[in-house]
A = this chain, B = another copy of it.
């Protein structure tokens, strides 16, 4: 598979600099001066990055985060997301795969698992 192109790297760098998930259009805004001019370029980069496990999509936010763990390669993380401050913390738990297999049954071929937990983080609760 081809290496990362310059668009891909710009998108990845942008995500790594953010402590929150960014939408494709957030990324576009932050890279427009650099080189990216249209949504499709961002989406193409995101797709490539996601295939390699460098970026994850947070479904319920329509947004993307850089994987917090560079060495891992592809994996199936979950996310804990604060609705107030928007921070998304990636985690893994082996029990998730077992739950998924039990739910899907032996003849279902699992391709992806999305587990997202929403609520209020401790600092935000204290502040409120």
Residue ranges of A at the interface with B (Cβ–Cβ < 8 Å): 59-60, 78, 80, 82-83, 91, 93, 95-96, 98-100, 102-105, 107-122, 125
Contact = CB atoms under 8 A, between A and B. Distances in A.
Given A99-B115, A105-B122, 14 more contacts: A59-B114, A80-B105, A82-B108, A95-B98, A95-B99, A96-B115, A104-B117, A108-B120, A108-B122, A110-B118, A112-B119, A114-B115, A114-B117, A114-B118
Contact of A78 (B83, B103, B107, B108): B103
Contacts of A121: 107-108
B104 A109 contact: no
Contact of A60 (B80, B83, B108, B114): B114
A116 B113 contact: yes
A95 to B, nearest CB: 5
A97 to B, nearest CB: 10
A57 to B, nearest CB: 8
B99 A111 contact: no
Contacts of A59: 59-60, 114, 116
25 contacts: A80-B103, A80-B108, A82-B108, A83-B111, A93-B103, A95-B95, A95-B98, A96-B115, A99-B115, A100-B115, A105-B122, A107-B121, A108-B119, A108-B120, A108-B121, A109-B120, A111-B118, A111-B119, A111-B120, A112-B117, A112-B118, A113-B115, A114-B114, A114-B115, A114-B117
